[in-house]
Amino acid sequence: MALRELLAPPFCWSCSGPARRGDALCGGCRASLHRLAPEPVWLSGVRVWAPVAYAGPASALVSALKFRGAFGVADVMAAQIAANSPPEFLGGTLVPVPLHPRRLRSRGYNQAAAIAAALGERTQLPLADCLLRKGPAVTQVGRHREERRAGPAGSIEVRAERSAGGLARRLARVLLVDDVVTTGATLAACQAALREAGAREFGAVVFARTLGR
């Protein structure tokens, strides 16, 4: 064991207790994850699947990746998605939900893109980080349910490419990727933009889904 591990052993992102090397959660917190049914749900016209509910240890993992730069957590989330998602879901091209450029500059990374990259490594599915978010940089946190249902602040567009036909072929079947879903309005906006670009088949996988959705 390395000296740094003796001085600072792995810890659980949820309870701060000791965890096994390579694990983001201790055994107790991992066991307390609220696992969801294997069937996908429809949210704002998008077929969505998530392995766990956005509560307790799952929300702690989301915060660790989104706000504390714990990039290793992205692979933990991807592992849950890859191991438990309906077989028909893991196909097509992975497309991460975009982060507003201003927020991307401030944070330095897009958590959805990190999860999508880790999921691509595990599933060998192609990745196309092809969506852009424009307009005001407004976070979903704190927005009322009605505002969330109305969709993301601003707009979502597909990046222009030299070969529009090539992009359409790559996006014939799309699997959107994000960390959390609440109403599905942002996923719906992504789906609408991709449909205009030629995509025809859609699905979405996220690590956690808000309870009651």
CATH number of domain containing 90: 3.40.50
pLDDT digits (tens, 9 = 90+) for 186-209: 999 999 999 998 888 999 999 999
Domain count, the chain: 1
State yes or no: pLDDT of 80 exceeds 90: yes
Per the domain annotation, does 66 fall within a domain? yes
pLDDT at position 133 is 92
pLDDT tens figures, 106-155: 888 999 999 999 999 999 999 999 999 987 655 555 545 554 555 565 68
Task: State the pTM of this model.
Answer: 0.85
* Token pair in block for residue 195: 């449909």
pLDDT of residue 3: 39
> Within 13 Å and on the Cβ side, how many CA atoms surround 18?
6
Q: Give the pLDDT mean for 155-168.
A: 70
The domain in which residue 171 lies consists of: 37-137+149-209
The band of 26, judged by pLDDT with boundaries at 50, 70 and 90, is very high
Average pLDDT in the chain:
85
Tell me the pLDDT band of 183, cut-offs 50, 70 and 90: very high
In a domain, 142, yes or no: no
Check residue 165 and give its pLDDT: 56
pLDDT of amino acid 146: 55
Residue at 123 is within a domain: yes
pLDDT in tens, 27-75: 999 999 999 999 999 999 999 999 999 999 999 999 999 998 888 899 9
Residue 23 falls inside a structural domain: no
Residue 12 resides in a domain: no
Domain presence at residue 4: no
Q: Is the pLDDT of residue 7 over 80?
A: no
For residue 20, the model assigns a pLDDT of: 86
